[in-house]
Each structure stands twice: as structure tokens, then as C-alpha cells.
């Protein structure tokens, strides 16, 4: 069966080509260590299908200003196609989450995305990471400082699969890092920790909800933004 033609991320995001070679060794070690990356790789080779023999269910509704720019309809990676997929597979098909996806794999935390009661994933966009970290610091996190990277990712994970309305109703949640994050808002978006906004919320995946946000949470120093590139 012919598969849809997907533009590789390395073409869509040229900066990933530079980092890909270094991350390849990390990814290989994770596969050999049995961390579950082999399953994610299968997802990358075989995009989740939105159709099937069974009668289709109502398409999940995602909300936020960025949703119109993300896969929709019959595009690979559309919200219906990702329903029921493991979170680490779903992340591969959301083109604004390449850095978050790379961080999950480099940290070996793919299995942490599925909890017994589900998981809420607050995933910063690539632009959010670029604004937070210089390229040097981001590469250092991804390739050398696993402990700090895992701590950073835990700032973005909340036990329990919480919808956007659940987050707002709760008013505050505690991340796996032990940090309390306030949640306010309504009308299809939420403000988190008084600094991050959801820009496309309520992706429903296997045992988890993914909410794309526009700011990196946690207390690591900000080194990105203008001038936050490589040292010369």
C-alpha cells in the first residue's frame, strides 16, 4: 500500500541536519538499551492512518491559534490520526515539536510519557526553545547533560490525562518535577504559570493529552533570543 509522501524534518527544519548526526548515536544507544525507541521508529516509518475498517469516531477537537498551521483533515499527523498512538509517536508528527521530541528521546524518557493514570504533556514549540536557550546550551542539554534535561522535561509533565478544560477547572496542577503550575483561561486556550499560553491544545493520544505551549517552563537560565547563537 502506497504511503503518503512526507517531507523529512531535516528538510523542513535545516538546523536539524546539523544536530542529527550527533543525536543518531544517542538514539542508537537508547534502542540498544531497550528504552522503547524502536517502537517510535516504527511509527516514523509508518504514519498513523486516520481511516480504517471500523466506522470512524468523531474527530478530536483541538483548539488554539496555531492549530490552523498544523496537520489537519487527511494530512498525516492530523488529530484523528494521532488518537490512540503512543505519545512519543504522536510527537514525531507535530512539526513544531521537533526539539521537544528530540529532548524526550535523548533523555530516555519515552516510557515516562505513559502513566498508569495517564499523562498531561505541556510541549513547548521549537520557537519557545529557541527563545529560551542558545544553540550551544540546547546542544549541551541534548547531548551531554541528561540529568538537567530530564529535570526540564519533568517540568512539562503532569500525572493524569487532563483536557484543557480540566486544567482550567483545576486552577493549578503539580508537575512531575514538583512544581506548581497555575492554569487560567477559557475559550479554547489557557495561561500556564502566568507566562506560557496553549497554542494548540487537546491532542488525544494513548493514555495522554498533548497541549502545545509557547514558552519553556522551569527555572533554567534564559540564554536564547537575539544573540543566543553559537559562541565564536
pLDDT at 123 over 80: yes
Cβ atoms of 190 and 183 closer than 8 Å: yes
Rounded to whole angstroms, how far apart are CA atoms 190 and 132? 20
Distance of CA 209 to the CA centre of its chain: 10
Rounded to whole angstroms, how far apart are CA atoms 128 and 124? 6
- Indicate the pTM of the whole model: 0.77
Using a pLDDT cut of 90, give the percent of the chain over it.
67
Distance of CA 123 to the CA centre of its chain: 4
Give the confidence band of 25 by pLDDT, cuts at 50, 70, 90: very low
Nearest to 181, CA basis, from 221, 133, 222, 215: 215
Using a pLDDT cut of 70, give the percent of the chain over it.
72
pLDDT at 204 over 70: yes
Q: How far is CA 78 from CA 98, 107, 176, 203, in A?
A: 16, 26, 28, 9
Straight-line distance from the first to the last Cα atom of the chain, in angstroms, rounded to the nearest whole number: 49
Rounded to whole angstroms, how far apart are CA atoms 30 and 129? 23
The pLDDT tens digits for 82-103 are 999 999 999 999 999 999 999 9
Rounded to whole angstroms, how far apart are CA atoms 211 and 199? 8
Bridge pairing between strands 208-213 and 196-205: antiparallel
Cβ atoms of 154 and 175 closer than 8 Å: yes
Q: How far is CA 231 from CA 22, 62, 137, 223, 227, in A?
A: 18, 39, 10, 12, 10
pLDDT at 210 over 90: yes
Mean pLDDT of the chain: 81
At residue 209, the pLDDT reads 97
At residue 57, the pLDDT reads 61
- One of 2.30.180.10, 1.10.730.10, 3.40.50.720, 2.40.30.110 is the CATH number of 13-46+62-213, namely 2.30.180.10
Give the confidence band of 11 by pLDDT, cuts at 50, 70, 90: very low
At residue 216, the pLDDT reads 98
Contacts of residue 96, defined as CB under 8 A and 6 or more positions apart, other chains included, come to 66, 69, 70, 125, 126, 127, 212
The pLDDT tens digits for 27-36 are 434 333 443 3
At residue 225, the pLDDT reads 78
Rounded to whole angstroms, how far apart are CA atoms 36 and 202? 24
Nearest to 91, CA basis, from 104, 101, 81: 101
Amino acid at each position: 500500500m502506497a504511503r503518503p509522501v512526507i517531507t523529512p524534518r531535516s528538510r523542513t527544519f535545516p538546523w536539524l541536519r546539523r544536530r542529527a548526526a550527533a543525536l543518531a548515536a544517542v538514539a542508537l544507544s537508547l534502542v540498544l538499551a531497550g528504552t522503547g525507541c524502536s517502537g517510535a521508529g516504527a511509527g516514523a516509518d509508518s504514519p498513523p492512518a486516520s481511516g480504517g475498517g471500523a466506522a470512524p469516531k468523531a474527530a478530536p477537537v483541538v483548539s488554539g491559534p496555531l492549530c490552523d498551521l498544523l496537520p489537519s483533515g487527511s494530512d498525516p499527523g492530523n488529530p484523528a490520526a494521532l488518537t490512540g498512538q503512543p505519545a512519543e509517536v504522536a510527537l514525531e508528527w507535530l512539526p513544531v515539536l521537533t526539539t521537544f521530541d528530540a529532548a524526550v528521546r535523548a533523555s530516555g524518557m519515552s516510557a515516562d510519557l505513559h502513566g498508569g493514570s495517564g499523562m498531561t504533556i505541556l510541549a513547548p514549540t521549537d520557537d519557545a526553545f529557541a527563545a529560551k536557550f542558545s544553540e550551544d546550551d540546547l546542544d549541551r542539554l541534548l547531548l551531554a547533560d541528561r540529568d538537567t534535561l530530564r529535570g526540564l522535561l519533568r517540568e512539562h509533565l503532569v500525572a493524569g490525562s487532563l483536557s484543557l478544560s480540566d486544567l482550567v477547572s483545576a486552577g493549578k496542577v503539580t508537575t512531575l518535577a514538583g512544581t506548581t503550575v497555575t492554569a487560567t483561561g477559557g475559550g479554547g486556550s489557557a495561561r500556564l504559570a502566568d507566562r506560557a499560553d496553549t497554542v494548540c491544545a487537546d491532542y488525544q493520544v494513548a493514555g495522554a493529552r498533548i497541549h502545545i505551549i509557547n514558552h519553556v517552563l522551569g527555572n533554567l537560565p534564559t540564554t536564547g533570543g537575539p544573540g543566543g547563537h553559537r559562541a565564536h
